[in-house]
Amino acid sequence: MSKDRYGLTVSTRSAGALEAYVDGVDRLLSASAGADDCFARAILADDPAARARRFFCFFLKAARLRAVFLLRFFSRMAIS
């Protein structure tokens, strides 16, 4: 098993998938653009058997992040 820069286990054997995933996490945590593209590259670089499950999980997480962002955004707008 591979590890990311925070020491967390990443279930891939693909160096390219790991690199794209770490780049995506860095962009997501720093609120930089392109995190979704990095995660998409990580999914495509991974082995085909795991790709479908990760693809589904990625979109569930992305939908949750968007919902949290919108909730916070509109909460701040209501306070203003």
- At 23 the pLDDT is 92
Question: In terms of Cα–Cα distance, which of 66, 32, 69 is closest to 23?
Answer: 32
- At 52 the pLDDT is 66
CB-count exposure of residue 12 (10 Å: 0-12, 13-18, 19+): buried
C-alpha R_g of the chain: 15
Q: Token digits for 9?
A: 């286990």
Q: Tens of pLDDT along 6-22?
A: 888 887 888 888 899 89
- At 32 the pLDDT is 86
pTM equals: 0.59
Beta-carbon contacts of 74 under 8 Å, excluding residues fewer than 6 positions away, are none
Cα–Cα distance for residue pair 21/8, rounded to 1 Å:
12
Task: Give 8 or 27, the one with higher predicted confidence.
Answer: 27
Q: Tens of pLDDT along 32-56?
A: 888 888 988 888 887 766 666 666 7
